[in-house]
Amino acid sequence: MSAQAATARPLSTPAARPVRRLRALELPALRRRPRLWYGLIAVAAALGIVGAQMVLSVMTTQSSYELARLNSQHHELTLQKQVLDDELAGLGSPQYLAANAAALGMVVDKTPSYLRLSDGKILGAQKAASSTSAITLGKGSVANELIADTPLVTDPHATIDGNDKQKKTSTTENMTPVPVTDGLPTVRTH
């Protein structure tokens, strides 16, 4: 039955097809250009970042050079302080004070006297010191190299050794170095 029903049915008339007409296409929509301002802002921001990085790099480099200069200056000042401390220690040494006291005419009293502060009484021999007991640096004393060339207070040309400072410097300035004729000097072992 179904085969008969399918053949028995009349075919419907095709629906009216719309008539197609040829027509010109519309102009394609214009593409919007990217905004110029957005590009300029992006380029300016990139240049700003690069510029800031360069400025920070230069400042860091400059501060490192400044730090190195200050460290060098600190080192030099530390060395100067050490030299001044050595000079101060030499000027306060017993040898220098004794030599200046002798240059001023002071003498050592073999029998000292003492003043008692409670009642003002003088205890001791109460004799003046003789000029034969002058302060001297004998052969048994050890030389102090910190003050070897330091002039005495009373005589700027005399040193603690009693030598004239001008004579000492003139003899060392006139010395010529020993010429080396055949290379570096070496110790002879044969």
pLDDT interval class at 62 (50, 70, 90): very high
The Cα–Cα gap between 123 and 149 comes to: 41
Residue 123 DSSP SS3: strand
Name the residue type at position 47: L
The Cα–Cα gap between 158 and 151 comes to: 5
Query: Which residues lie below 8 Å from residue 148, measured CB to CB, with a gap of 6+?
Result: 159, 160, 161
pTM: 0.46
pLDDT digits (tens, 9 = 90+) for 111-124: 888 889 999 898 88
Percent of the chain with pLDDT strictly greater than 90:
27
Name the residue type at position 138: G
- The pLDDT assigned to 160 comes to 77
* pLDDT at position 188 over 60: yes
The Cα–Cα gap between 107 and 135 comes to: 6
- The pLDDT assigned to 146 comes to 74
- The pLDDT assigned to 45 comes to 97
Query: Which residues lie below 8 Å from residue 38, measured CB to CB, with a gap of 6+?
Result: none
| Residue 136 burial (CB count, 10 A) | 12
- The pLDDT assigned to 43 comes to 95
- The pLDDT assigned to 118 comes to 92
CB of 96 closer than 8 Å to CB of 144: yes
pLDDT digits (tens, 9 = 90+) for 91-113: 888 888 888 888 888 887 778 88
* pLDDT at position 155 over 60: yes
The Cα–Cα gap between 174 and 166 comes to: 12
